[in-house]
Structure 1
């Protein structure tokens, strides 16, 4: 049974302070007292109104400057010329670890939601655009504005282009929630427009490349040290992008283009301390009544289930105990809490499992008794601590989803003058807020930072080396790749060399045989430019690490020929029961060919009767070949199917194939 104390506490505030169905805001000091935090940590106020208002994103740039995106127009789309979105630069003038002033870096932005440092400025998502903003005269205000990309969807502030992330592979990833759009890149006006429906987005400004990425991600994108992506969606707090878009869509006939999977082993359940607001409780009551009247087997939840998950963030810092490294933190703005997932990769699957910590089986990492606490996003700072971005509104919800009569007492802008940012610090390892200036580091010093324990330092150093294109760092990077004991640092070195145009075949070959699975996985990706590595890639389809084996199956599909077909048949024999491996095989021309089926038949792969995985594979293969309609392929397929042990399922597949 839920502890009644939080409800009593909430009710005292409600009846004492507010005549409406909704409580008034707490002061920053009162809000701090309302938190229940995991043992071993303390939470500090880092910034509050008036220095920050409506924050939804925060970053530290390479000079230690702190920027926050503010979204005062939420939840409505502003009229043209009336946008109030801002980017503020936060300043701690006395060095006490608390922000005491701020300046406006950019304003009049329409629904800006995220930033990423780039070449001394900021990349900013502000649908329908991605901007490059830069201060060129040192007054801390953007005076250079360039629209890089245009054409993104712009009619739902909770589902637009956002969450810019620089990854170890030198690509910048952004969430798009699968929304439609026709994106153009203004630096390459001759390039074709990119249809966005169904996917997320990624780009490389150093190579003028842009393309779709597997999604959809709503608001919250986490990328781990191996470059694996995880995303938030309102009711599904954590999913994994299992197969990248570029493989899923290299031909148009794959029966399913889905590349994501819910990885939580605890589904929708969460442990909030606040009761549901009146509008949500009443809407839930009405919906459930309707379901019951229709005799639908459906349950509508008003509380204790994720409905506003957002801000999934990979913890790659060095301040917390070792067991926290690699965890993913997500907020739920409806439940007023922060959830923590511990990720593990099973030995027999390429899909991670996200589970609760043993110490948080019946509680959250952080929960508040303040219903105004809206943890929309997070960032991990150069100090290794987690910063919590609290939008701090009375209501966060799309108005169109609330019945008109319930909206009568709701002011969706109440709280737009508020905003809080908190810093979570370990009690046994207190650290001051730090603002390192990596921009003044030499390239030699930046290469050394690729060995830092904090992912922020490693990624920032890699990005700066990529921006500088200083090839004199090549020898030092090669030594780091060959000699460093930390596989994370070697992977950074490998991709920094790639970004500088210094990657050599011998390095790719070394990565393919590296003891670390992350290096082997990326060695396979980088091998896609070299057909000479097909034999080594073929051996890796039986790798002990399932992500390595899956990547080998995907990358082999870039090529064709008997050796590739044979290796993909090995994949089916080793991993054919796993739907992700079957998809990886079928995503390529070689893996969806009569030649592959011939290999499998000759190896007596198919059982009598067919098992479920074999049936699914044959059905999907038949659909692909039928839709592709290459001359002679369908007849070959029909003849091959006749040689497989017959049962009613196979008879049906044959009949459907010949129709």
Structure 2
């Protein structure tokens, strides 16, 4: 078999079919094989299938418990058919998968929670499980692999929006906060109570982090985005919204599939190349910073991204430059994994306890939600019978052919000292879990070793992990943090310690903090200076005469780097006018401050401080209105219902004038009508929405836009102003339109 350049064909195996509702061991069986021609994997790596149907169905996320077992979220209700009917039925579940015969393939599954509505995420935290069920975020205790006491963490977690745009992710970061994709809040269990506070709204599906704790994410049309700074450091001024420090596009959106691609807007110019191959991502999701420590060095902290619409996984190389990050395609013209199997739908990636990278393959034909799916894609999927690929799902494992995997540890039996040692592991999953377990154990005997680790120079952010274990144990003090800052030679450790030091701001410490600031500025380290600027908020409120000049020195030192001016603006938070009066800000800082003062006067806050739920996008709203108002007569698929209403799909009234279509919806239709050459005798008038006070002009726009997306040959647009004109243009006679009026009136005039 020919292998091209640096790529090799991957061998995979498919688990035999089993039943999982109760859970049982699989006896002897023959594992079916997937043809190796279906997958091309980068040279030096191999792909193995470790779980599949019917041990699981429609997996979308997973997490590992302290024993190294996989817990999988199964979103079985997602798009059960091309019409999306039945999606909100409670068919979802969370299952525990095990490899009891230790042959590397899952052979046992049991349901932990079922009857869930479109579950999207889970996380093992605080000794229990955090998970999503419908719009709600829950925490449940785990008792012998069974659910115990449940706590409602947030009833609004995924309220509003569409399943493809609803909150998910649930990732515990190094700072002991749980972050999300597509939601502007973070969570923490503190002193027995759940704390919820605003954070930047990031991404669409999936979230990940690097060793430092910066967050990375994406949306369907963006390969990779990220923040240049740690979370919640530059959003502390409620009337200022940064544009440099966060939400940066890091890499090209170019994609390199190995077959012609069926995508939602494939008919639009520029979406596909001359061969019918996708040019840029349209459904990117599930990013992962690889931190497993079991790949070659060049792959550490690469960001891998799922591209399910093109059946591939990208590899991006991160480039760190003090206060800026960029990323580049790892191999020009080729992807890390590419498949010709159109059922291969990678939607999430995870670091594993053994150092491998795990792929959640939803493995289905339909990967586009009904609210967005075009008639073009619907026809493509149906023509290939991809709509029949349901109730499948796979978990795959990617390993290096040159590096040995770590044995899967059983951390449930680890001692406190063993967990401290694990903070130095090259495996990020192990470091992360050890950090959290040490906090849960509340064993203060490890405070000394942790403090020494936090002061020492080490690899893999071990000092930062130790720092946040101390924070979780309430074992930090001004003196301890000062020692760490003064002794550490690692800027990243100093950056985190400065942020933690701020909670100890007190009048008696002002002099020491001023001296420390002077010493830190003398290091001439961009990272240290940036985080010093972001950590002086509480100190400047104690003594603006002492610390505003420190901010001014940083401003002048980095006048050409706007991220510093954003940091200072965030820190000022209410002291903008004092700064303008007493300091001489650079032009950019002055511009930021002046704009912030104006927003404060208008009480115009950064939206993260006022938005509580996801906004329902217009296409989803249009779908819901169509289903509630139109589908009763015209059918949920728009194909019409015999003796009740004609079809909309293929109708000249859908493909024709948008103003005429608005008039039909507003004023209704009576009498016989021809649609697509066929005469329909209506038994009843089509009801008008004109006098329905609950239906606005924008609602009509949303209904029309949904029909244009799902039913029209070529989508057209209409504005709310156009709808208002049609509202005021009442038909002569009974006020209900007839076919004669529809054909003779010039609605676009």
Q: 1:463 aligns with which of 426, 430, 436?
A: 436
Displacement after TM superposition at 1:262 (Å): 2.7
For the Cα contact (< 8 Å) 2:227–2:248, is it kept in 1?
Answer: no
For the Cα contact (< 8 Å) 2:261–2:277, is it kept in 1?
Answer: yes
Separation in 1 of the partners of 2:212 and 2:70? 27
Residue 168 of structure 2: aligned partner: 162
Separation in 2 of the partners of 1:626 and 1:134? 48
Structure 1 residues 274 and 619, CA, compared in 2 at 3 Å: closer, same or farther? same
Separation in 2 of the partners of 1:573 and 1:343? 29
Separation in 2 of the partners of 1:172 and 1:278? 33
Q: 1:37 aligns with which of 34, 41, 46?
A: 41
Separation in 2 of the partners of 1:278 and 1:628? 45
Structure 1 residues 278 and 629, CA, compared in 2 at 3 Å: closer, same or farther? closer
Separation in 2 of the partners of 1:144 and 1:472? 30
Displacement after TM superposition at 1:376 (Å): 0.4
1:293-312 correspondence runs (5 A): 303-312=278-287
1:336-347 correspondence runs (5 A): 336-347=311-322
For the Cα contact (< 8 Å) 1:274–1:371, is it kept in 2?
Answer: no
SS in 2 for 1:163: strand
Q: 2:73 aligns with which of 69, 94, 97?
A: 69
* CA shift digits 1:491-534 (9 cap, x unpaired): 21111111101113232113323111111111110111233324
Residue 620 of structure 1 pairs with residue 595 of structure 2: no
Residue 476 of structure 2: aligned partner: 503
For the Cα contact (< 8 Å) 2:424–2:460, is it kept in 1?
Answer: no
Structure 1 residues 581 and 31, CA, compared in 2 at 3 Å: closer, same or farther? farther
Q: 1:271 aligns with which of 231, 256, 263?
A: 256
Separation in 2 of the partners of 1:149 and 1:90? 28
> Please, which moves more after superposition, 241-250 or 207-216?
241-250
Q: 2:299 aligns with which of 321, 324, 328?
A: 324
SS in 1 for 2:68: coil
Structure 1 residues 376 and 563, CA, compared in 2 at 3 Å: closer, same or farther? same
* CA shift digits 1:96-142 (9 cap, x unpaired): 10112211111111121111112443111234222123342x3x332
Structure 1 residues 506 and 417, CA, compared in 2 at 3 Å: closer, same or farther? same
Separation in 2 of the partners of 1:423 and 1:250? 40
Separation in 1 of the partners of 2:306 and 2:524? 34
Residue 645 of structure 2: aligned partner: none
* CA shift digits 1:273-326 (9 cap, x unpaired): 1212175423x25x989xxxxxxxxx9x97121111111112111211112111
Structure 1 residues 574 and 482, CA, compared in 2 at 3 Å: closer, same or farther? closer
Separation in 2 of the partners of 1:57 and 1:307? 20
Residue 109 of structure 2: aligned partner: 102
Residue 56 of structure 2: aligned partner: 52
For the Cα contact (< 8 Å) 1:87–1:104, is it kept in 2?
Answer: yes
Separation in 2 of the partners of 1:403 and 1:78? 16
For the Cα contact (< 8 Å) 1:585–1:591, is it kept in 2?
Answer: no
Residue 151 of structure 1: aligned partner: 156
1:114-129 correspondence runs (5 A): 114-129=121-136
Aligned residues: 554
Unaligned runs of 5+ in 1: 5-26, 179-198, 290-298, 607-613, 631-659
Residue 325 of structure 2: aligned partner: 352
Residue 636 of structure 2: aligned partner: none
Residue 201 of structure 1 pairs with residue 186 of structure 2: yes
For the Cα contact (< 8 Å) 1:541–1:550, is it kept in 2?
Answer: no
* CA shift digits 1:461-514 (9 cap, x unpaired): 111111222223223322333456446222211111111011132321133231
> Please, which moves more after superposition, 567-576 or 272-281?
272-281
Q: 1:523 aligns with which of 497, 501, 520?
A: 497
Q: 2:118 aligns with which of 111, 121, 127?
A: 111
Residue 474 of structure 1: aligned partner: 447
Displacement after TM superposition at 1:385 (Å): 0.7
Separation in 2 of the partners of 1:80 and 1:278? 22
For the Cα contact (< 8 Å) 2:164–2:205, is it kept in 1?
Answer: yes
Separation in 2 of the partners of 1:262 and 1:493? 29
* CA shift digits 1:414-449 (9 cap, x unpaired): 4331111111111112437x4321011111221121
> Please, which moves more after superposition, 575-584 or 564-573?
575-584
For the Cα contact (< 8 Å) 1:59–1:66, is it kept in 2?
Answer: yes
Residue 367 of structure 2: aligned partner: 396
Residue 556 of structure 1: aligned partner: 536
Q: Which has the higher contact order (CA 8 A, sep 6+)?
A: 1
Structure 1 residues 146 and 624, CA, compared in 2 at 3 Å: closer, same or farther? closer
Displacement after TM superposition at 1:78 (Å): 8.4
Residue 610 of structure 1: aligned partner: none
Residue 517 of structure 2: aligned partner: 537
Displacement after TM superposition at 1:407 (Å): 2.8
SS in 2 for 1:400: coil
Provide the TM-score with structure 1 as the length reference: 0.77
Displacement after TM superposition at 1:88 (Å): 1.1
Separation in 2 of the partners of 1:334 and 1:278? 6
> Please, which moves more after superposition, 323-332 or 123-132?
123-132
Provide the TM-score with structure 2 as the length reference: 0.69
Residue 732 of structure 2: aligned partner: none
Residue 212 of structure 1: aligned partner: 198
Structure 1 residues 251 and 279, CA, compared in 2 at 3 Å: closer, same or farther? closer
Unaligned runs of 5+ in 2: 5-30, 603-749
SS in 2 for 1:173: strand
For the Cα contact (< 8 Å) 2:362–2:392, is it kept in 1?
Answer: yes
For the Cα contact (< 8 Å) 2:313–2:336, is it kept in 1?
Answer: yes
SS in 2 for 1:465: helix
Q: Which has the larger radius of gyration?
A: 2
SS in 1 for 2:555: helix
Residue 214 of structure 2: aligned partner: 228
SS in 2 for 1:276: coil
For the Cα contact (< 8 Å) 2:59–2:360, is it kept in 1?
Answer: yes
Displacement after TM superposition at 1:627 (Å): 4.4
Separation in 2 of the partners of 1:91 and 1:428? 26
SS in 2 for 1:151: coil
For the Cα contact (< 8 Å) 1:126–1:161, is it kept in 2?
Answer: no
For the Cα contact (< 8 Å) 1:263–1:351, is it kept in 2?
Answer: no
For the Cα contact (< 8 Å) 1:586–1:592, is it kept in 2?
Answer: no
* CA shift digits 1:59-86 (9 cap, x unpaired): 2111222111111111488879831111
Structure 1 residues 315 and 594, CA, compared in 2 at 3 Å: closer, same or farther? same
For the Cα contact (< 8 Å) 1:201–1:213, is it kept in 2?
Answer: yes
> Please, which moves more after superposition, 485-494 or 254-263?
254-263
Separation in 2 of the partners of 1:525 and 1:320? 32
